Chain A
Amino acid sequence: MVELILRAVSKTFSAVSEARPVLCDIDLLIPKGEVVAIRGDNGCGKTTLLNMIAGLEIPTAGTIAFDGLHHQQLRIGYVQQDYSSSLLPWYNVVDNVAIPLRLRGIGGAVSRNRAQEFLAALGFRSLPPHAFPHELSGGQKQKVAVARALIHDPHLLLLDEPFANLDAHTGRDLEHVLSRTHEDKHPTILYVSHELDRCIMLADRVLTIHGLPARVVSDFKVTLPRPRCRDVMFSSQYAQMRAQVLAQEETLYGKPT
């Protein structure tokens, strides 16, 4: 786990005709092991924010620090929004999951064995280990991407809409895997989701970013006790929190008609 500190982070994309500011003055302190859900309307810069934290984009202004660690020392697990194209099509399931281990110099046979054991430990036994991405369904590809992000025991886990386009059962499976990983290893987790229930169920905080350029407009603390089972969704405390987040968002976007 790692503490994540963002100070006055801004991002502007330079286009041919004009500069397009996307994010402005993002100040965040995410303590070690905290789970943060990020919400916001489409195109407001959520993915850009994750990309900057993952080191894939450079902020135009501001700094991103990881508890004194440099990017090179930090282990990041990133499940991109387009998880399907992030899998290497010439590698089978096991080889795709083993990528982070191989990048750290762990040999082919050892990394493959570890990947296979890890898939079993996650409960992804239904994944055909020697199938190639073009032979998998969307949900199976998503499981491979999540397993790959978790296998090297990351300090920081970034998930960009991990539950999008999944059926209810696969979504619950992934939710369970993430909760268990957090209980066991306590990585710091940032994930983007449009599903409010999953935000409240998994997160310690729900951030909403909004505007053009986007800023953090609400930072809601989820005080439900852990571990959280699905029964918690029927509690009055849960209903109250859900109503509060919705009320906050209604002030931003207006009431749905």
Chain B
Amino acid sequence: MGNRPRPTRVLCRPLIAVSIMLFAWWLANVTGYVNPLFLPSLPALCAAVSGQLSTPGMYYDIVATSYRALAGLALSAVIAIPLGMIFGRVPALYDFVELPVDFFRSVPSSSLFFLFILIFGIGEVSKLAVVFYGCVLILLVNTVYGAKATKDKQDRINMLRSFGATPFQIYRLAVFRDALPHVSAGFRVCASLSFVLVVVTEMFLSATAGLGRRIYDFYLAYRVPEMYAVIIILGLLGFTVNRAFLALERRICFWLPS
């Protein structure tokens, strides 16, 4: 317990970093180092954030963006996790697909925007497809690594086998739980990525709602403080989702050193 940092200290450190960033913003704005047209003053920014948060349409956009990001992520998890569990335990099978998986992982999801429009049209499906494509292979590879045998994992499997466990019991009691740290790490990476992809699709794939659409609209109208305000709200949303996944990961994988 003696090594645990005090809660005040834990809270202070990030606050100091944020204060430095705000100070740098203020300094850049006051000194005119950056054109004030591109970097609004802090009071103007605060007014824009509060103005955006008091607009009902903003919450509709937050829900729309979150829904697209999390639905795409959930869809990729439904496919990637069971497949990754199988590939991880049957390396010979993974050998067949490793090359195409690595190849398609190297193709950026954003480069497939127009292909998805051609295939799925400009509706919701193409936006979900971009998120799904961006996340599914990352989750798959993470799950494969989680399910792959290491000495410790094999010891646990051997223990269950020696007690006569069926393959299903071995998956349920050991393989799946052992893979969870890798799977949840993949989830966290993909949660952030899904928001990035959704915002870009909302900008370019004719969305009628969403934070990406809102940023694009403010950009076209040259309303720079509002544009910054939506970016900050988007950042807070992504940060919250990331923290939520991290808390979930710590809860699920409680036995791992923090």
A→B interface (CB under 8 Å):
51, 54-56, 71-72, 75-76, 78, 80, 82, 85-90, 99-100, 103-104, 132-134, 152, 158
Contacts and interface: CB of A to CB of B under 8 A. Distances in A.
Contacts, number: 60
A55 B151 contact: no
Contact of A100 (B163, B177, B254, B255): B163
Contact of A86 (B156, B165, B255): B156
Interface string B52-78: 000000000000000000000000000
B182 to A, nearest CB: 15
Given A85-B152, A88-B174, 17 more contacts: A56-B161, A56-B162, A75-B164, A78-B159, A78-B163, A80-B158, A85-B155, A85-B156, A86-B159, A87-B156, A99-B163, A103-B160, A103-B164, A103-B165, A132-B255, A134-B255, A134-B257
A99 B161 CA distance: 11
Per DSSP, are chain B's interface residues mostly helix, strand or loop, or mixed? helix
B254 A90 contact: yes
Nearest to B153: A85
Contacts of A56: 158, 161-162
The range of chain B's interface size is: 10 to 19
A88 B165 contact: no
**Which of A56, A75, A104 has most B Cβ within 10 Å?**
A56
B162 A133 contact: no
B208 interface: no
B161 to A, nearest CB: 6
A134 B161 CA distance: 23
Nearest to B177: A90
B112 interface: no
**Which of B160, B162, B165, B174 has most A Cβ within 10 Å?**
B162
Contacts of B161: 54-56
Interface of B: 151-152, 155-156, 158-165, 169, 173-174, 177, 254-255, 257
Contact of B177 (A51, A76, A88, A152): A88
A248 B159 CA distance: 34
A97 to B, nearest CB: 12
A103 B257 CA distance: 29
A68 B155 CA distance: 28
Of all A-B residue pairs in the complex, the 6 with the closest CB atoms, nearest first, are A78-B162, A89-B255, A85-B152, A86-B159, A85-B155, A54-B162
B163 A80 contact: no
Given A90-B255, A103-B169, A133-B255, A85 B151 contact: yes
Contacts of A86: 155-156, 158-159
Nearest to A88: B156
Contacts of A90: 177, 254-255
29 contacts: A54-B158, A54-B161, A55-B161, A56-B162, A72-B164, A75-B164, A78-B163, A80-B158, A80-B159, A80-B162, A82-B152, A85-B151, A85-B152, A85-B156, A86-B155, A88-B174, A89-B255, A90-B254, A90-B255, A99-B159, A99-B173, A100-B163, A103-B163, A103-B169, A104-B164, A132-B254, A134-B255, A152-B163, A158-B162
Contacts of A152: 163
Contacts of B162: 54-56, 76, 78, 80, 158
